[in-house]
Chains A and B, each alone.
Chain A
Amino acid sequence: MKQKNDGLLSRDSLTQSDRNISRLVKLANDSNQPSRAFTESLINNALGKLEQLKTAKKREEKNIILKVSRWEKAMGIAAMIAVVCLAGFSILVSNLNSFFAVIVLTVMFINRFIYLGGLIL
């Protein structure tokens, strides 16, 4: 904010002396209105900031959409793998007699329990 103290003269570096002289000379202004240069410069800077904020907001919204779509994609792949595994499993079970099917299922469940137990412990 302070940078715009002297009619937004960003090109010229301001020393303390410059700032004080600027503040003093402005006291000699008879008008109770801001200068045209100050007004125009402030309008342009404010609109620039507004555009910047709008772009940042749009980018944020886009990121949320991207994150959602990435999540959906992962879920889709997981569902696909589950379907393929179930299909393979049902083919395997249908080709075995009931005794072997029970053994395969029991082994699978024990395996899962061991795996889950390991995760919990």
Chain B
Amino acid sequence: MEQRSWVGFARGDSDIWREFIGREIPLLYGMFIRRWPNPSLAEELVQKTIFDAVRGCGSYDPLRGGPEEWILGIARNNIRLEARKRASRPSINGDISRYLEAIDTKPLPDEVLEQKETALLVRSALSRLESKEQTVLRARYIEGLLTRDIAGKMGVTEKAVYSMLYRARISLRRELKRTASLYDKG
């Protein structure tokens, strides 16, 4: 960001902030995902960092440096907080198959999601689903599209998308369990 925009940034100028956030989101996401290979956590930390910056807008001092360094400081602090949170909870061992039984009731631990085997298992399970089921799951969870957007993209009604998603989730759960048991045997 050009130095002359720093004062506008400190004042909370919407146009400057829009441009700034748009540029920083991919950078922050990359920084978090390199630290923990967990897209959901990376999104959560990006959100936290951006909102911390918005709330702390008044504390930004242009004399101390550019907004980029300032937001990086906030991001580093969030990494420290996350690391401290992890250090304070009991260590989690074991693969995903232990947690699949409780998928409907308990959150999957981040440590399990960050294992390479988990990503492989999900890819393998997804590839076994019908093409439509894969498309709807990817559109919803990877592309982050709303039901009406998925309906428009697939040329079906919103109700059809809901029912496709419902079936796809059941199929994915079934395939995850089947693939995990194959991994255990193998």
Which residues of A pack against B, CB within 8 Å? 1-2, 4-9, 11-12, 15-29, 32-39, 41-43, 46-47, 49-51, 53-54, 57
Chain A, Cβ-Cβ closest to B147: A12
Residues of B within 8 A of A22 (CB): 40, 140-141
Residues of B within 8 A of A21 (CB): 103, 137, 141, 169, 172-173
Tally of A-B residue pairs with Cβ under 8 A?
150
Please, how many angstroms separate the alpha-carbon atoms of A53 and B17 in the complex? 14
Stretch among B44-52, B59-67, B84-92 lining the A interface = B44-52
User: Which single member of A16, A27, A38, A50 contacts B144 (CB below 8 Å)?
Assistant: A38
Q: Please judge, given known A-B contacts A24-B113, A26-B142, A29-B142, whether A43 and B25 are in contact too, CB under 8 Å.
A: yes
Q: A4-B47, A17-B169, A50-B14 are in contact. Are A33 and B26 (CB under 8 A)?
A: yes
Residue in A4, A25, A50 whose CB lies within 8 Å of B54: A50
Interface footprint category on B: 35 or more
Q: How far is the CA of A96 from the CA of B123 in the complex (A)?
A: 106
| A residues less than 8 Å from B176 (CB atoms) | 24
Instruction: Classify the interface of chain B: helix, strand, loop or mixed.
Output: helix
Closest B residue to A11 using CB positions = B146
Choose among B14, B22, B144 the residue with the greatest number of A CB atoms under 10 Å from its CB: B144
Instruction: Say whether B141 contacts A39, CB under 8 Å.
Output: no
Verify B39–A27 contact, CB threshold 8 A: yes
CA gap between A9 and B143 in the complex, in Å: 12
User: B57 to A24, Cβ gap below 8 A?
Assistant: no
Whether B163 is near chain A, meaning CB under 8 Å from some CB there, is no
Q: Say yes or no: A46-B169 contact (C-beta < 8 A), given A21-B141, A24-B176, A25-B122.
A: no
B137 A43 Cβ-Cβ under 8 A: no
Contact B50 A29, beta carbon cutoff 8 Å: no
By a CB distance below 8 angstroms, the chain A residues around B126 are: 25, 28
B54 pairs with A7, CB closer than 8 A: no
Report how far A32 CA is from B26 CA in the complex, Å.
9
B30 and A32 contact, CB distance less than 8 A: yes
With beta carbons under 8 angstroms apart, the residue of A20, A29, A46, A49 that contacts B103 is A20
Assess whether B155 is interfacial by the CB under 8 Å rule.
no
